A = this chain, B = another copy of it.
């Protein structure tokens, strides 16, 4: 029925007035750019924010769209991808709880962001947000720190794409996901993998078949256990040695 991407049915972006009592009580604040803002700054930010949610498989924005808003993820996960003219795709990464979309306040989005499951976000109209940032160096500071972190993630990923074998890529991917879950307080040994195998493949520069084979191999070797919707990490040490740092 559907050829690609677009979900069936009528569900699309829905906006609501905030359901959280306030930013001050937000579960996500401490792991996002909002952390360590003063009470005053937080109040100003809150005044600009609008809570929205996104149904699975729906795009929040697309590569090339002009960016008239920026977002903070408060629930769920999104896939960030870019397309080559000939259709080849690369998944730049996955935005998790606490991640900020539009860090650099770009004129146009350079990636497409699609919900992997139900997603909730704080939306900020860009013009107003940029004005607040210009007025509050402290907030700009936080954005810049975050951008620096993204830059090191990007470097790690370039190293992975350029110089690692398929098995190392998959092992590294699982470990980096565990690390990012850890950062937001999710420390279960069972990793949720809300993205599909094709998404992982396009993230790691592999084919879906190779991803599947490597996961199966890791499972056979008892480093992981494949479970519906994710994997259980059985032998973190072994994964780390396979990831080659």
Binding site for B on A (CB under 8 A): 82, 84-86, 88-90, 92, 103-106, 110-111, 134, 137, 140-141, 143-145, 147-152, 154-155, 157-159, 161-163, 202-205, 244-245
In the complex, residue of chain B having the shortest beta-carbon distance to the beta carbon of A245:
B85
Interchain CA distance A45-B185 in the complex, whole Å: 41
| Alpha-carbon gap, A117 to B110, bound state (A) | 34
Given contacts A144-B143, A244-B84, contact A151 B152 (CB under 8 A): no
Contacts of A163 in B (CB 8 A): 84, 88-90, 202, 205
Contact A110 B155, CB 8 Å, known A105-B148, A147-B104? yes
Shortest CB-to-CB span from A167 to chain B, Å, is 14
| Contact (Cβ within 8 A) A110 B205 | no
The interface residues of chain B lying within 8 Å CB-to-CB of A84 are 159, 163, 244-245
7 pairs, CB–CB < 8 Å, chain A vs chain B? A103-B151, A104-B145, A104-B152, A110-B155, A154-B154, A162-B205, A163-B202
The docked-state distance in angstroms from the alpha carbon of A205 to that of B161 is: 8
Do the beta carbons of A141 and B141 come within 8 Å of each other? no
Residue of B nearest to A85 (CB): B245
Cβ-defined partner of A144 (8 Å) among B85, B144, B155, B205: B144
Please indicate the chain B residues that have their CB under 8 angstroms from the CB of A148 in the complex: 103-106, 147
Interchain residue pairs A-B with the least CB separation, the first 7: A104-B148, A162-B205, A161-B161, A154-B154, A137-B137, A90-B159, A147-B147
Give the distance to chain B from A157, nearest Cβ to Cβ, in Å: 6
B137–A92 touching, CB < 8 Å: no
Query: When the two chains form their complex, are residues A157 and B158 in contact, meaning their CB atoms are under 8 A apart?
Result: yes
Return chain B residues, CB-CB under 8 Å to A106: 148, 152
The answer to whether A152 and B90 have CB atoms under 8 Å apart is no
Beta-carbon nearest neighbor of A204 in chain B: B162
